[in-house]
Amino acid sequence: MKGGEVLIALQRDGQSKVADALSKGARFQLYLALRLAGYYEFAQFRPSVPFIADDIMETFDHVRSEEVFRLFGEMASAGQVIYLTHHQHLCEIAKAVVPSVAIHELR
């Protein structure tokens, strides 16, 4: 990128990759991790604002989706978390991981 910032991911094996060289799924996970870290940083010093995500787990496997919903459940203790999806299996995972979740079906 000419004159811009470059995001580099560090892999478990110690190698690094430019974010653009990651798979779509790995890029989505990286960007979500950055958004979550930013939310926690923001919520530490200011009144919370809603965290809204629109179908960001389309490329995540079951285990990763469970972990994200666990994190969303923790975030909900600090503020409102809204996740939009049309994937029924994600709603089922959310119910299993965060029993207190409220699911609203829009038609």
Residues 74-85 have pLDDT tens digits of 999 888 999 999
d(CA 8, CA 24): 15
pLDDT of 46 reads 87
pLDDT of 1 reads 52
- Angle, helix 62-75 to helix 24-45, in steps of 10 degrees: 10
8-97: CATH topology: Rossmann fold (3.40.50)
Examine the pLDDT at 12 and tell me if it is beyond 60.
Answer: yes
Burial tier of 79 (Cβ tally within 10 Å: 0-12, 13-18, 19+): middle
3-7, 58-62, 77-81, 100-104: segment of lowest average pLDDT: 3-7
Q: Which residues contact 26 (CB under 8 A, 6 or more apart)?
A: 9
Q: What is the pTM of this model?
A: 0.81
Report whether 7 contacts 29 (CB < 8 A). Answer: no
d(CA 67, CA 6): 27
Mean pLDDT, to the nearest integer, of 32-41? 89
Examine the pLDDT at 2 and tell me if it is beyond 80.
Answer: no
